[in-house]
Structure 1
């Protein structure tokens, strides 16, 4: 005859619970540790990607601002006679009686409508800008009556254009 098995015995109940599923505390800790490690490994490349995006956005913003200023300078030169053209000053006399002076000093580009004396700030270099403006570009070496104007950046890149006065 077979002996009767008491299914309510505590030893059988505990093994039945383990057999039914559920996780031990050690298994849960291991899964959490591995998941955390995986999350850190995935997050690092994403952080680098977001930093690179921020740098590129800053570069595009600075270059757009400088292109706007360069277009304004080009317009002034087209209507004027150039009085002074260096890596820190572009000074023009516009027919009709006023002067424009673009002056680069101390990380600031200023425009004055009455000679070179500081004037109104049109571009300021922020301390955290990744793209740094080094100097103005202004020379007439390309051809007689044609001026190369623009900006020289610290990384060696140049934003420039050629302009000829209309007079």
Structure 2
């Protein structure tokens, strides 16, 4: 009798450990945070378009949709939630923060961004004094049936899967160029 209770206890502990390990794995998945002022009717269609693009990269990130709100964007970024942010260009000044965003210079050269667009995407890091690109244009060619709004994409700093984040941002940016 005592032996069966020990086996039961070991089995329960093993299941708890397995469930905890699975939850940790899900926490490591990349999360895309999208902020759009489009009516909620279009959110599902936009999520399907995004899923089609990102699934080609082999990643299966969590995608969260939010209304384009300065307050909500500020709260999510300050909390460090999400890995990749896709926001309407109208939120650019709030989103582009060299302290919390990863420079994207290795994905694009300044020469590839027109002079009139550069102020939207590059900023000087006041700590280092260096100027970097912190966001890339996104959305013009990705959602043509849904909207003509311009979006920007950015990557948060110090994420658990930085290489995956760069790969996904690159995939999303390249899909916009097609």
**What TM-score, normalized to structure 2?**
0.34
More strand by share: 1
Larger RCO: 1 or 2 (CA < 8 Å, sep 6+): 2
Give the number of the structure whose alpha-carbon radius of gyration is greater: 1
